C-alpha cells in the first residue's frame, strides 16, 4: 500500500499542493487526474522524493520513506518531455539501463519491439520525434525494478494505435507486482488505463478511489464516466 498523509507544497505564496491524503493499493494502476496546473507533476515529484515538501509523509507498506536511499529503493520516476543522454543513441542508452537494472537482452529487445523503437536504435536521443522520445522514456521506466513506477503524462505524444498497444503493457507490469502511478490530463486515456484515480483541482484533493467508489462519492449514476464525476466533485 502506498499512503500519502497531509502532503503540502508551497512555492512562495502559491499553494501547489494543499494537505493531500490518499492511498493507492499495491499492484494497482492509479491515475493522478486533473487539468493543467492542478498539481499533478508537483505531486509525483514530491512523492518520489525529488522535490522538498512543506509538510506531510509518504509510506510504502507502512514504512515511512524519508531518506534518499528509501525513495530510490521504492520509486522510479519518468519525467515528461526530458531527453536524458541526448547525444547518445537509443540503443546505447537502452543497453546501459538494461545493465543497470540487470534485465536480460531478450527483455530489452521485447520492449524495443513492442514499443516500435527498432527503426530509431541508431538515432541520437536529441533527434527523436515527440512520440518516439515518449516511447523511449517508457522503455526505460519498464526496465526499472522499483516497486512503484511513476510516469508523467505517458500517453502524451502517442497516437491511438500506440496507446492501445501500450495499455496491455501497463496491465502486465501491474500483474508482475509493480504499482503504477500515472499523471494524466486526458480523462479518456485515464479510464482506459487505470483502476484507481486521484482527482486534483487547484492543488486540492477532489476525490480518490475506484470509478465505482467515486461515482458514489459524487452522487453520480453507475453509467457516469470520469468526466462527469470530476465535474460533479469540482
89 within some domain: no
- Which has more confidence, 185 or 115? 115
For the entire predicted model, the pTM comes to 0.94
The number of folded domains in the chain is 1
**Segment 80-111, tens digit of pLDDT:** 988 999 999 999 999 999 999 999 999 999 99
10 within some domain: yes
pLDDT of residue 200: 95
CATH number at residue 34: 3.40.50.300
Q: Which domain holds residue 189?
A: 2-82+146-233
138 within some domain: no
Which H or E element spans position 197?
strand 196-201
pLDDT of residue 48: 93
Which H or E element spans position 64?
strand 63-64
Task: Tell me which residue of 166, 177, 206 sits closest to 25, measured CA to CA.
Answer: 177
CB 93 within 8 A of CB 102: no
Amino acid at each position: 500500500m502506498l499512503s500519502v498523509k497531509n502532503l503540502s507544497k508551497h512555492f512562495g505564496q502559491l499553494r501547489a499542493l494543499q494537505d493531500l491524503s490518499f492511498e493507492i493499493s499495491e499492484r494497482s494502476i492509479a491515475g493522478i487526474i486533473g487539468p493543467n496546473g492542478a498539481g499533478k507533476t508537483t505531486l509525483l515529484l514530491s512523492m518520489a522524493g525529488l522535490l522538498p515538501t512543506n509538510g506531510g509523509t509518504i509510506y510504502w507498506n507502512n514504512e515511512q520513506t524519508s531518506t534518499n536511499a528509501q525513495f530510490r529503493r521504492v520509486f522510479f520516476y519518468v519525467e515528461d518531455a526530458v531527453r536524458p543522454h541526448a547525444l547518445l543513441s537509443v540503443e546505447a542508452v537502452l543497453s546501459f539501463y538494461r545493465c543497470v537494472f540487470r534485465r536480460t537482452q531478450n527483455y530489452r529487445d521485447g520492449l524495443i519491439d513492442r514499443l516500435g523503437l527498432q527503426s530509431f536504435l541508431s538515432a541520437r536521443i536529441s533527434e527523436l520525434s515527440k512520440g518516439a522520445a515518449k516511447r523511449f522514456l517508457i522503455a526505460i521506466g519498464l526496465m526499472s525494478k522499483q516497486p512503484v513506477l511513476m510516469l508523467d503524462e505517458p500517453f502524451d505524444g502517442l497516437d491511438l494505435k500506440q496507446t492501445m498497444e501500450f495499455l496491455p503493457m501497463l496491465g502486465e507490469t501491474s500483474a508482475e507486482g509493480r504499482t503504477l502511478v500515472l499523471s494524466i490530463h486526458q480523462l479518456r486515456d485515464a479510464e482506459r488505463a487505470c483502476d484507481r484515480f486521484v482527482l486534483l483541482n487547484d492543488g486540492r484533493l477532489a476525490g480518490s478511489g475506484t470509478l465505482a467508489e467515486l461515482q458514489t462519492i459524487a452522487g453520480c449514476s453507475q453509467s457516469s464516466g470520469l468526466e462527469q464525476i470530476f465535474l460533479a466533485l469540482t
